[in-house]
């Protein structure tokens, strides 16, 4: 463990400071990663590649989606910068995405390795473990944006609607998934939409965006001070288009 924080110290050059957003100030974390942590004063002078505004991060995602839709995704050399990636990560956005095999955020947004910090599970809802991951992304990795990304033809949302309408019980752990999505479906139902599935998919996104904005103590704080934005979007599988909701 490095204890020498002079300018030439190797740990000063190590870009993975655990206190990128002042985690050391919280005190308790100081011992957690020990030598990886930099003095807060040193880190404040080190702009990182993801030190961009939430709006700029969102623009990069939407521009990347436009390239993907136009089948003009950028050519990527995945062998390049492997060593740099081994040393640190600077994601520009956290994603809460469905596990659906047809939805792949890095491809849909034409982003490279290290650009997106993705939490995926069927139904793209926020649970405690996922929230903890996002807290890490915001507080430690410094990502300025979180996007909840639903998608068309979501089987998890469709299954929840079916369970609610037919009063059936799914096997295994699937009821937990239904319970998590049910509140959004109930909200969508009240509007009596022409297409309940599409409405519930969008509502499930909005429901979880709202949940994240209020997620104390970490995400809510960064949202309140403007350092992080939480947005919602739906990916259309047929066209490839991502639309903010
Ligand atoms: Zn899905």
**CA 243 – ligand 1 centroid, Å:** 16
What is the model's pLDDT at position 45? Answer: 61
pLDDT confidence of 20, banded at 50, 70, 90?
low
What is the model's pLDDT at position 34? Answer: 34
**CA 223 – ligand 1 centroid, Å:** 26
**CA 26 – ligand 1 centroid, Å:** 37
**CA 152 – ligand 1 centroid, Å:** 8
**CA 156 – ligand 1 centroid, Å:** 5
**CA 174 – ligand 1 centroid, Å:** 14
Share of the chain above pLDDT 70, in %: 82
**CA 99 – ligand 1 centroid, Å:** 6
**CA 158 – ligand 1 centroid, Å:** 9
How are beta strands 116-120 and 93-97 bridged, if at all?
parallel
**CA 201 – ligand 1 centroid, Å:** 9
**Position 31 pLDDT exceeds 70:** no
**CA 2 – ligand 1 centroid, Å:** 45
What is the model's pLDDT at position 84? Answer: 84
**CA 146 – ligand 1 centroid, Å:** 18
pLDDT confidence of 186, banded at 50, 70, 90?
very high
What is the model's pLDDT at position 218? Answer: 98
**CA 38 – ligand 1 centroid, Å:** 40
**CA 110 – ligand 1 centroid, Å:** 20
Tokens of 111: 């982003």
Of residues 235, 23, 222, the one with CA closest to residue 109: 235
**CA 6 – ligand 1 centroid, Å:** 50
- What is the reported pTM? 0.84
Choice between 8 and 224, residue whose per-residue pLDDT is larger: 224
What is the model's pLDDT at position 24? Answer: 37
- Residues 193-231: tens digit of each pLDDT: 999 999 999 999 999 999 999 999 999 999 999 999 999
What is the model's pLDDT at position 78? Answer: 85
**CA 118 – ligand 1 centroid, Å:** 15
**Position 69 pLDDT exceeds 60:** yes
């Amino acid at each position: 463990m490095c204890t020498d924080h002079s300018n030439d110290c190797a740990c000063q050059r190590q870009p993975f400071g655990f206190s990128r957003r002042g985690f050391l100030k919280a005190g308790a974390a100081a011992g957690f990663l020990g030598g990886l942590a930099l003095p807060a004063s040193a880190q404040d002078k080190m702009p990182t590649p993801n030190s961009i505004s939430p709006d700029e991060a969102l623009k990069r995602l939407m521009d990347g989606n436009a390239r993907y839709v136009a089948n003009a995704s950028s050519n990527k050399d995945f062998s390049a910068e492997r060593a740099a990636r081994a040393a640190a990560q600077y994601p520009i956005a956290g994603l809460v995405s469905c596990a659906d095999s047809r939805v792949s955020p890095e491809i849909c947004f034409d982003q490279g390795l290290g650009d997106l910090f993705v939490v995926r599970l069927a139904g793209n809802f926020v649970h405690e473990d996922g929230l903890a991951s996002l807290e890490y992304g915001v507080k430690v990795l410094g990502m300025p944006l979180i996007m909840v990304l639903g998608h068309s033809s979501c089987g998890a949302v469709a299954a929840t609607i079916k369970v609610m309408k037919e009063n059936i019980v799914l096997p295994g752990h699937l009821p937990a998934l239904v319970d998590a999505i049910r509140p959004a479906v109930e909200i969508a139902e009240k509007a009596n939409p022409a297409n309940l599935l599409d409405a519930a998919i969008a509502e499930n996104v909005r429901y979880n965006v709202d949940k994240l904005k209020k997620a104390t103590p970490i995400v809510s704080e960064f949202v309140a001070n403007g350092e992080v934005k939480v947005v919602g979007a739906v990916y259309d599988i047929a066209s490839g288009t991502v639309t903010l909701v």
